Structure formats: C-alpha cells, structure tokens
Structure 1
Amino acid sequence: MKVSVSPSPRRHAPGIDPGRWPDVATLPPASRLRTAVAERIVRHALARLPLRARITGGADLGLGGPLMEIHDPAAFFRRVGAGGLIGFGESYMAGEWDAPDLVGAVSVLARHAASLVPGPLQRLRGTWAPRQPAGQLGTPESARSNISHHYDLSNELFALFLDETLTYSAAVFRGFPAAPAQLPAAQHRKIDRLLDLAAVGAGTELLEIGTGWGELAIRAAARGARVVTVTLSREQRALARARIRAAGFADRVDVRLCDYRQITGVYDAVVSVEMIEAVGASFWPVYFRTLEERLAPGGRIALQAITMPDDRMRASRDTYTWIQKYIFPGGLLPSTEAIERTVDEHTALRIEHRICFGMHYAETLRLWRERFEERIDETGALGFDATFRRMWRLYLAYSEAGFRAGYLDVQQLVLTRPREEAAR
C-alpha cells in the first residue's frame, strides 16, 4: 500500500539555526497515516494521565495535574509520528510544547512509561522505533567521540551549575530538601562512602575508571593512596590535572587519557562512578572482565551506577533515544538484573553489597537544574544558543523526573574478587 506524505511543508522553526540544529529547525517528512496514528495514541494517553494537556485549538485533556501546553499541535504530532521520543524532545527544543512545571509534567510521563504506547505496538517496537547508529556503539574507536560529545562541551559550562567540587554524579544528603550550600559536603559524603566501601587508605594502589574533574582522586590521595585515573575527555583531563596539582597531590595521582580497555597493571581497589552508563550493553562483559583483571586477589571494587527497570531496559536497549542523539551518544542504563547477569556469566566477581539512593539523585539534579536556570544567560557568552539551553533544560528536568518517579535509581555496589577464585 502506498502511503501519501503529509502535504504540510518542511519548514524552518523561527530562531533556530538550521546548520547547528537541522532536525529541530526543520520538520521531518512523515506520512499522514503515521502522524494520525501518533496523534491518536498521544491523545488517548494524555486523556488518561494525571496532568492537564492544553492543546491550542482544541479541548484540554487529562485528569488534572501539572500543565503541559502544546502550542503547535500539527508540528508536535508530526514529530512524534516520525521520531517517537526523539521527536517529542525535538518538539520541546523547537518550542512547540512547554510546561511551567517541566519536572512535574515529565514525572507523570515517566511513571506511566510502560503503558503510554499500546501493548501490540510495544511488541512491534523494532519495526517503528529508530535504532542506534552503528557509529555510536561503544567500540574503542567510537567511545572517545561519544565521551567528547558531552564532556568536552566546555569546562566552564559545567562549572556554571556544579558546585565547587565539580562532581557530576549523585550526592548523598543528610535530609531533604537540601540547600545549595549543602551540595559540596553531600558530594564528599558520596565520595568518602565509595572510598570506604573499596577500603581505600594509606598505601592503597587505586584505579579510578572515569576521572571526572578529579575530586575523587584528590580525596583518595589525601588518604595516602596512590591513584591511576583514566578518562577519554581531554577537557576533563586538563582541568583535573590542574586541580590535583593545586591540591598538592601531583606526585600521587596519574591522570591518563585512555580507554578502560587499555589499562594495564593490578590494583588493590577499583572505583568507577557512573561510567558504566557510557559502555553500552554489547561491552558490559568486557567492562566487568576488565574490572576483574585489574583487581588484585582479595581486592574490592566500588561501583556507582544509574539503573532502570529490567523490562524497560530490554524493550529499549536497541532503540535510538533523544538522550543518545543529543546528550550521551552510545549510552545505555543497565538494570540491576543486567549487572548481576553480566557479573555471574562473565566473571568470578561477587556482588557483596548494594546501596540504593535514587531520591538523592533527584535532589542533586534539582540543585543543578535550579543553578543552571539562575545562570542560564551566562551560557550565551560561552557560545551556547537558546536551542541548546532548551535542550539542557529538558535533559536536567527529564533526568530529575526519572528519579522522582522511581523509574530510575542509582546504586553503589561492592564487588570482590575472592582469593580462592583468583588462585584457580
């Protein structure tokens, strides 16, 4: 059957640079049938959700709750029909929909993620959802560009919304709500707990996979450890080395620009904070075997990981998402079960301990998001335009909503390499 293409013209959204944001500035080609199906599914879903969807030119939908305003329904439904969740995100970037309480509105969607699309269409996901580009898979060749896409944006950009520790992962608070001034101590509390879980102290030979901007390495060195820390971000490495040098630990910390698969040597302890999310499912076995091979018998691994439900991970693991396209190319959140399966099937490591603290991440993200909004005008001086600002606003709100809804969690795990297993 030949399907006609929507006659509405491919048009440029006003004020958006088509060279920088081609898929946002220009509406995608979409069949009338696909757009109509998308509109029907979305309207049906919105009508059953605890929010209020105000659609220009039509009646409000929803059971009441956070407001979602769809200013350009024709463009919105066309984008969703053509690109699913990618189109949903690009429509926000284009200003075609908005929400005064963006976290609240997206939290509702996150809580009902499994039921937004009808079951039969969920089972046919592979036929309509875009697949991850081969060039973004976590191969040694692609990993550097994937990491650079996000972490080499600008150290100054991250400094706008992070606290002075420049720690870009979930903090651990003493209570909620937290004040911005409490964030540095909360980040140190998280780092210290990881170092304690890995038994890092004087004389420890520590490997850190994923340097960030060096705060964990600094605190480990202050305990008397010797640290090898690796990153694929040139921007992060440069600033981390400067911060480590300023703290007086250049003789104790070696910051290397290399892939985790290139590391050599054996270490008493290994720490990796929110790095597994960038590895990709195909390479989880390699990642955990690397942790095992680098760890001395009897040593300890402290791993911090963002996780998602196993059924949702399985359903979406091959799908190309808005987050992958614009924020973290090649990324995929594992489930708890996926971590357990990979460890059991591919290593002799044992998971000894687990701490879950997802609401602490929601609070961390709230503080980052509020600070980003407070200093949003400063992003222009760094070369980031209004479309970028909307993209990052959605990224931070989307992430916070996932934790507030319980759709996402964050865990600290301890893995050990028993001496008797290592001796076989």
Structure 2
Amino acid sequence: MVARQRTQATPFPKEELVSQDTFNKALAVGRPPNVVRNFPNSQALIVSGKVIDRAMLAKGQAMTIAANGRNIFVIEGALKAAQRANAAIIIEIARSESTYCPTTLWNIARRVDYLCNMHNITVPVAVHADHYFMKKWDDVPVAKAEISSVFDAGVTSIAIDASHMTDDLNLLANIEVSSSIPSWAGYETEIGEIKGEFGLSTPVEAKYLCQGLNAHGLCPDWIALNNGTTHGIEASGEGIQVDVTAEIHEALKAYGTSGAQHGTSGNDSARLREIAAKTKTTKANVATALQMIGWGVKVNDFGNAIMTDDGRFDKVPGEGLQDALWEEMVAYADANDIHGGNYKKLNLPFERRWQGQDATSRDRMAKAVEDFVHHLLVDVFNADGTADIACDLILEAGSYDLGAKAEQFEDPAEWTEEKIKARAAAIDTDKGPEGDFDD
C-alpha cells in the first residue's frame, strides 16, 4: 500500500496526526466491505459508527460531532476540523434532508470519500444516515428495501427513527428492519421526537425499547431522546436537560447503549460540556449552526443565528459566501415564502452557485465551519485525540467489525409481538403534541 503523503495544502502539525504506520494498518483492515467495494483505491479511513462510539467511550467524558453535511462546504470544514483536532468524527445526513439538500443518503459517502482524499484526511470517519424515519407501519416494508440501498452506497451507520409511532410499533419496526442493517454497522434508535419541553422521554420507555431489542439479539450503539432540546435554532433557552439524560443513560447501563444528542445547535458551551461529562453521550448532532456559519450569517458564541430587528438573518459583509450571492438567496427565499429555519431549503438550489464562486470565497466558507467545529471538538466535546484511540480499537480487533457492546440476555419468549404490545400498553408516558419533527 502506498503511504499517503501530507501536502502543503494540508499543513497540519505532525504531532496532531495519526501516525502514518498506524493509519496504513487501520486502513488495511478498518474499512467495511461496502466501503471497499465503492472506493477500492481510496485512502480515506471510512469506518463503522461503532468505532467512533467506542473511541469516545474509551477516552471517557467525550463526544464527537455528527455534522449534518447539508452542503459540501460543511463536510469539508468538519473533516478539516477533525484532522486538526486528531478527532474521530461522524458526517451525516437525515432522510428528510436528502429531499432539500444536494447531499443525500446515496451520495454522502462519495462526498466524504472525495474530500478525505483531496485534503489528506487521515482521521477515522463514519458516514451516518440520520433519522431514517418510519411514521406509520406502512412505511416499514419500504424501509426494509431502501435501507439496504443506503448501505450499498457506502453508508456505515444508521439511525432508525420510528419514534413517531407508539412504543410497541417503534420496537417492532426496529426489529423488522434490522435484517437490512449490516451487523458491523453503527446503529442508533430513538424513543422520542425532538420537540423541546413537550413529551420528555423517560427511563421506562427507553428501557422498554432496549430490553425488547436485546431479546431479539439487537444492541443499539446509540439511543436518541427527547431531552428538552429542539431541531433547528434553539431559541427557548431551556435546551438539553442534563439530569433527564443522565437518568435515562443510567437505566440503560446493562444494554451498553450510548446517547445520541440531537438538536445540539444553539445550546451553550457550558451545557454541552456538562452533557459530555455527566452522561453517556458520545454523538452530538449539529446541523443548522454549521449551515449558517458557512454562509457568513452572524451567530452567537454557540452557533445561534442572530436576527435583525425585522426578523431577518444578519449576514456579515465579507464573511462566508459572496455578499451579492447572499442577496440572491434572500430574494429567492422571499419570492418562495421561505423564512427562518426553512432557509435550509436553499441548499439544493444554491450549492452549484456556491461552488461556482472564486477559490477565496469557497475556502472562506469551509474555513468558517472548520474553526467552529474545531472549537467544539477540542474545547467543548473533549474529542481531541480520539482518532488515535479509534485506530487502536480497529487494530486490536483486527477488523472493521467491533461487535456488540452487550450480549443478548433478555428472554425472547417474554418479547413476542403479543407481549410487546401488552407491555407497551402498561407504559404511561406523554409523547407531547403532534408535529413535523423530521430533522
């Protein structure tokens, strides 16, 4: 194997990089078979989500960013930040985001692989299909077929989100689609739609889901909760409920399941440090903040967009994308009744225009994301150095497959479909209001 050489285009300090020997050895055994098949000559260390989770657990009180790569500049900036921090990282896109972003479930692995090779990224990277939702039971057969195609395209980790349904159907849906998820892949499940203070998740419903999955030989690497935060820009000031999260994670200790923190954008650094230190969270999703920062929109110190008095986003002149192009975006948004959080829908029609800017503007967009993500990884999430740990875990296993964190110990006879439904009927939980909480 030809060792990858760093170039002047990627001037990362030598002491912050995974050693070349370690990288080469991890590359030889750490890439899952679908990655090898899609990118046979690649020098990108794309790994299972399990590897990233275990690296955070091994360091302790650490979580990494799961950066929603809505556009290619977000992906580039996040990868460069992880390289600077020597941190293992996750790049993801939600199923719903695939409908309004140029990045989709089927091209995200190609984008990550391309950028890793272009910029000599040597840290381990998982490619995650986030919020693969099933809102009703009729969605399950479609999901079984489509999930296989996502892995065929190079994804290495997935979040099954059937939390829109009742507890019993959520569990049954996870079981039903499990045959479409490779056993080596990262696997996330979810018990509560992310809807702020309404319908907070409880230890009872979390344990119910993990018990039932364990009885069927399934061990999710992560569980996502409704623990008080929201998708998009966090404006309530309430944010993540750390005590709720810690209580639920404690109830799941026997099942080996870590926490996935959704809706991280807009929560202040102190709260995020607290969730890394006091809970078993190893994955923190950040989407909206990265998009805004790449564009050059004014944000506060934790990524919350600052609005003008007339309720518009405040673009910093000379920052992010070109000012004239921003004005085109605003005009397009106004003409199409796009406001606030729905500015995310500008990614698909405008990414080609962003890529058509001069190199200085393109680099500026990616650099803004890089600096913000690097700050999160090093100063807030405690993820620096986890790239070395992740590589060591791959080499210790001698494989891309690290196996499950917990053996099956629940009795499957107690978790038949009939008993699953009966157990769910006895759970008294408040799911909160109905709504559209896809990503």
Query: TM-score normalised to the size of structure 1?
Result: 0.26
Larger Rg: 1
User: Which structure has more strand as a fraction of its residues?
Assistant: 1
**Larger RCO, structures 1/2 (Cα 8 Å, 6+ apart):** 2
Query: TM-score normalised to the size of structure 2?
Result: 0.25
